[in-house]
Amino acid sequence: MIKRIAKLFGRKEGSGGKRLLVHEILSIQILSAAIVGAFTIASLYWGGQWVLQDNYSRWALQWTEELNELGSPLYLANDSEALFRLESFVERYPEIDRVAYFSKDGTALFSFSNHDDAEPVANLSASRLRDAITVIGDAKPYLMHGGLLNPKQFEILAPVWTESISDDGLFVFDPSNAELSVKTALLGFVGIHLDFVMFHDRLLSNIKGAILILLVLLIASALYGRRALRKALSSISDLQQPIKDLAKGNLNVKFAPAEHREISEIVEALEKTATALSERDAKLLRLANHDSLTGLFNRRRFIEELKKEIKIVTRNGHRSALFFIDLDQFKYVNDACGHAAGDRLIRKVGDELTRSVRRDDVVARFGGDEFAVLVRCTGEDGARASAETMLANMRSMAHVEDERVFHVHCSIGVTMLSGDNLHHDELINQADIACREAKAAGRNRMHLYEPSEDTQRRNVADVGWMNRLRKAVDNDEFELRFQPINDIDSGETTHHEVLIRLRTEDGKLVSPDAFLPSAVRFGLMSEIDFWMIRHAAKAYAEHSPEYGHLKLSINLSANAFENDDLTSYIEATFKEFDVKPSDIILEITESLAIRRPLHVERQIDTLREFGCQFALDDFGTGYSSFSYLQKLHFDYIKIDGAFVQDLLNNPVDQKMIKLIAEIGREAGMKTIAEYVQDAESLSLLCDLGVDMAQGYFVGRPVKVPKRKSTPISLSSRRARRSSL
């Protein structure tokens, strides 16, 4: 019923077939008014009928009594005057259709009618006579036919009788004497047919008019109530579209002012929510697009700007320049004054680079001490001039820390954006190559990229690798291998390093040295790191039940830590495959450990709290600063294979390894030697104090992690026996 009424008033369904609150309230209001009006009209009609019947009954009783008195003399004598009075009485009341008198046996005697065409009166039936006689002396001494269902006409039959009492003496008459007897003498009957059609119709016409007026008032009241409710509830309707826009992410939505306090408070709360969400989104957008230390664009946002500029260059045909900037000898500031001082210098360099370019140019921090600049709408001469300006400003910049003055210079690699050079990964690679050329030429200078035949061949190969790596990432075409790492003293396998391989189209396996440099240059390294994490966790879940206590070591590049989702991804992946974090060792390079920015440190701390262990990979080939081993918290130090390959013939390598093992032992770290190829090297490593070994002699990379014991040297056996 509500739906039909709502449809009549134009109600529309909301999204998903749900009813609208405003239309629902209006429908209920209209339905309530209709129900109340219907009950009122019905009550008025049936109440009027009841009143009419009650009035008709009273009139009928009064007229019956008068007709009884007027007609009684006619049974005793033929009184013409009584007949005249009786006829005059009937004519006086047009509602009396007919009056008839009957004898005691029910025979019709005479009748009077207000109509000339009245039909003859029939004699009374025996049952009617019996019923009429029984009412003599009752409170209502008559029979009535008619009622609520037909209040327009009544049939009344009343006995006509006389009452007398016995004579009790003329002067001593006492009406209270119970011994007196009342004598009743039946004279006949009087029948009255009453017709109230004219009066009834006139009265009902008035009632119908009143009902019509009431109905008009109810409709007017409903329409006015609908309008008043719609106006009162319009503030709720006005919230519908803004809330939809807010749910879609439009935080600039405007709310109409509300007149009512409750709705006004809701509007105020929604506006505050939209403002808070807008501020949060702006903050998240800034964090997603900007470097947290310098406030400059980060690598991801810079690549977006570079792609936009490539499209503009393609469309308009002008040229632009890409700068890759690397600070010279930045590590000495960190060595001398610590990471906080290095961070302050990085911020200062970012500010200086921003002041050195035009307003439309883009400056970004790529990570560590590397920056990138996009110089728009310039040729080679303009690019050289901009680079020289940057170099001059950097030369004149002095940084003071702990009363020490540092002059940090930079090397700049420049490549041009032109019609035949429009791939962002290739452009970054070219600028990086030019920067390395500038460093090789003596640092503190710029170098413009000029491709040679060898460079072009290498670029073509890089592009081929990029396509192959992209396909491998998307289609899960990498493969994992597991190389055991054994304890030198016991010869037992402690854990396995997870290695990545790529199978070429001819079915050969390619080592990571062949394709990872291209992956780094083309920005695919982070995706490969995430692939490694997931598939290593999957392998742990697959092989751990049959292996027993399986422990894996996973290599992560610096690019992985540039992704803010690294920690959450590792935690979610380990939980998905039920990996114990304490069974996972994450390997990072020495360069990342030393130059890691603050957000990388936070990620490492979070993963350590999660339960993961960390290994410092390739130690000895980079900065080789033993002071860092006292500051950095690692569980393992992996000695680079360059010290192990010629260990037997190189006393310097032997002393270096012994020194690393001693410092690691003092710092509570286990040392691992890579590239162990023979038993003699393993035995010498044992004598030098190294804890673990990895290499082909210990075990080759295999598809499934397996335990493989290695021989124990005599000195190790003696040391073990003496400890027992």
Active-site annotation, residues:
369
Partners of 367 in the beta sheet? Answer: 370
**Lookup result for tokens 């728009």:** 376
Report phi then psi at 408, rounded to 5.
-105, 120
Residue 322 CA to residue 306 CA, distance in Å, equals 9
b (16+ CB within 10 A) / e for 679-706: eebbbbbbebbbbbbbbebbbebeeebe
**Hey, what are 341's tokens?**
């001082």
Partners of 145 in the beta sheet? Answer: 155
Q: Containing H/E element for 473? A: helix 453-475
Plot region of 588 (φ>0 → left; ψ -120 to 50 → alpha; else → beta): beta
| Pair type for strands 182-195 and 153-165 | antiparallel
Asked if 28 contacts 205 with a C-beta cutoff of 8 angstroms, the reply is no
**Hey, what are 309's tokens?**
């500029």
Asked if 714 contacts 509 with a C-beta cutoff of 8 angstroms, the reply is no
Q: Containing H/E element for 205? A: helix 197-247
Handedness of CA 446, 450, 451, 455 (dihedral sign): negative
The set of residues, in sequence order, having a beta carbon less than 8 Å from that of 473 and lying 6+ positions away, is 524, 527, 528, 531
The number of beta carbons lying within 10 Å of the beta carbon of residue 174 is: 10
With 0-12 / 13-18 / 19 or more C-beta atoms within 10 angstroms meaning exposed / middle / buried, residue 393 is middle
